[in-house]
Amino acid sequence: MRSLSILLLVLASIASGVAMAAESKIEISSPADGAKLDSMAQNKLVYNVTLGPGGDHLHVYVDGNEAGLLREMKGSFTMETLAPGNHELCLKIVNKNHTPIGVEKCVKVKAE
Amino acid sequence: MSLDSQNLAYAITQIAHNFGAVTVVGGAAVALVWREAAVQRKLAWMVLAGWLIQAVSGATFGAISYYFYAKFPDIHSIALVALKVKIVCAALGFFLAAWQLKAQPSEVLRRYVWMALCGLGVLALSSAAILRWFS
């Protein structure tokens, strides 16, 4: 009877773990896609991320070049000033070995 | 393949990589203290194997990433420099250990080689820390 209770407890723990494993998701709340930014200012990228299975942290990219590494799942990243023109800002979820797991979010902005 | 098998692959590779690191630094450090030629020869074989394990397991980290995600780790700037330093250390370490076994240099020269091997090990381990926490 006691063994059965332990078994049920273990199974319940596994089941709850599976149920709690959320899907990977990235939200960039600012800047919005297509936004116009001040090229003289240090603009902020505001994000909210759910890592999901396999994810460990985030890489930030400006025009395809890595600009930073983020370990907080919600917050903001201050970018270097952007040269006037069109730019692409991206966040990618990567694993512990810094490998992108295929979940990313990008916004296009124009610095003026 | 599940996430567990991916983590298992990384973990097994990490175990090999860690023991390789212990061997290259520990083996060279012991050789600096224990100067008996026969012992140093055994240590040279150990260190040679250690550097080989470092190189193979290091490459395996990249291979695992590629196998599971069809991408290599995304590293830049300082982390990329650290990786290159590690690769150079492994190549030099392997070469020096192999040369020592083949050439059988004098005790004085052998001591310099062990110092170099020890330094390469410390440099590689320090670079590994940078590679781990930067990208």
pLDDT digits (tens, 9 = 90+) for A24-42: 999 999 999 999 999 999 9
A17 in any annotated domain: no
Chain A residue with CA closest to B65: the answer is A99
For A86, B70, B132, the CA distances from A26, given in Å and listed in that order, are 22, 21, 23
Written as one string, the DSSP assignment of B26-79 is HHHHHHHH---HHHHHHHHHHHHHHHHHHHHHHHHHHHHHHHHHSS-----HHH
Inform me whether the C-beta atom of residue B76 falls under 8 Å from chain A C-beta atoms.
yes
* pLDDT for the residue numbered B101: 96
Give the confidence band of B134 by pLDDT, cuts at 50, 70, 90. Answer: confident
Instruction: Give a yes or no: residue A3 inside a domain.
Output: no
Q: What is the pLDDT of residue A2?
A: 55
Q: Write out the residue range of the structural domain in which residue B64 sits.
A: 3-133
Report whether B79 contacts B131 (CB < 8 A). yes
Q: Please indicate whether, in this complex, the C-beta atoms of A100 and B72 are within 8 angstroms of each other.
A: no
User: Considering only alpha carbons, which residue of chain A is nearest residue B72?
Assistant: A99
Residue A8: inside a domain, yes or no? no
**Between A and B, how many CB-CB pairs are < 8 A?**
41
Q: With contacts defined as CB-CB under 8 Å, which chain B residues touch A101? A: 69
Entry pTM: 0.82
pLDDT (average), residues B22-29: 97
Residue of chain B with shortest Cα separation from A66 = B76
Task: Determine what percent of chain A is predicted with pLDDT higher than 90.
Answer: 76
Confidence grade of residue A8 (pLDDT, cut at 50, 70, 90)? very low
Write out pLDDT tens, residues A50-109: 999 889 999 999 999 999 999 999 999 999 999 999 999 999 999 999 999 999 999 999
- What pLDDT does B3 receive? 73
Tell me if A99 and B71 make a contact (CB, 8 A cut-off). Answer: yes
Query: What is the structure's pLDDT at A22?
Result: 78
Averaged pLDDT score across all residues of chain B: 95
How many distinct structural domains can be found in chain B?
A: 1
Domain count of the fold of chain A: 1
CATH number at residue A102: 2.60.40.10
Query: 10 Å Cβ neighbour count for A106?
Result: 14
* pLDDT confidence of residue A14: 43
Q: What's the domain range around A50?
A: 22-111
Residue A64: inside a domain, yes or no?
yes
- A69 and B75 in contact by Cβ < 8 A? no
Question: Is B65 in contact with A102 (Cβ distance < 8 A)?
Answer: no
Task: Please determine, for the modelled complex, whether the ipTM score is greater than 0.90.
Answer: no
Region class of B8: left (phi > 0), else alpha (psi between -120 and 50), else beta: alpha
- Chain A residues close to B17, C-beta within 8 Å: none
Q: Do B135 and A98 touch (CB under 8 A)?
A: yes
pLDDT of res. B4: 85
A4: in domain: no
Is B18's Cβ below 8 Å from some Cβ in A? no
Note whether A66 contacts B71, CB cutoff 8 Å.
Answer: no
Residue B135 has pLDDT above 80, yes or no: no
Is the pLDDT at A16 greater than 60, yes or no?
no
Residue B131 burial (CB count, 10 A): 23
Please state the φ and ψ torsions of residue A79, each to the nearest 5 degrees. -90, 160
Q: Is residue A12 part of a domain?
A: no
Locus of tokens 């295929």? A102
The percentage of chain B sitting over the pLDDT mark of 90, rounded to a whole number, equals 91
